[in-house]
Amino acid sequence: MTSLTLSVPTELKQEMNVFPEINWSAVAREAIKNKLIQLEKFKQFTKQSTFTEKDALKLGREISAKAIKRHRK
């Protein structure tokens, strides 16, 4: 098995220390595994997409403009 060093903020480490019985390495492995599954599903979902970065930027600008308009009312 390969090792991975993970840095966490001091505050987070202090909170983790409250639960010394937890195998934090196992928790991290499971979180990474779940994220990879999620990314693979996303990759498969978007594989056939014709939606371009230009389309995404245009849509983002339209949504932002509508949100600003709604909040100004």
pLDDT tens digits along 12-57: 999 999 999 999 999 999 999 999 999 999 999 888 889 888 999 9
Q: Which stretch of DSSP H or E encloses residue 43?
A: helix 24-46
Which residues, in sequence order, are CB contacts of 12 under 8 Å at separation 6+?
none
Whether pLDDT at 71 is above 90: no
| pTM greater than the 0.75 cutoff | no
Confidence (pLDDT) at 72: 87
Whether pLDDT at 73 is above 80: no
Q: Which stretch of DSSP H or E encloses residue 14?
A: helix 10-17
Tokens of 11: 């505050």
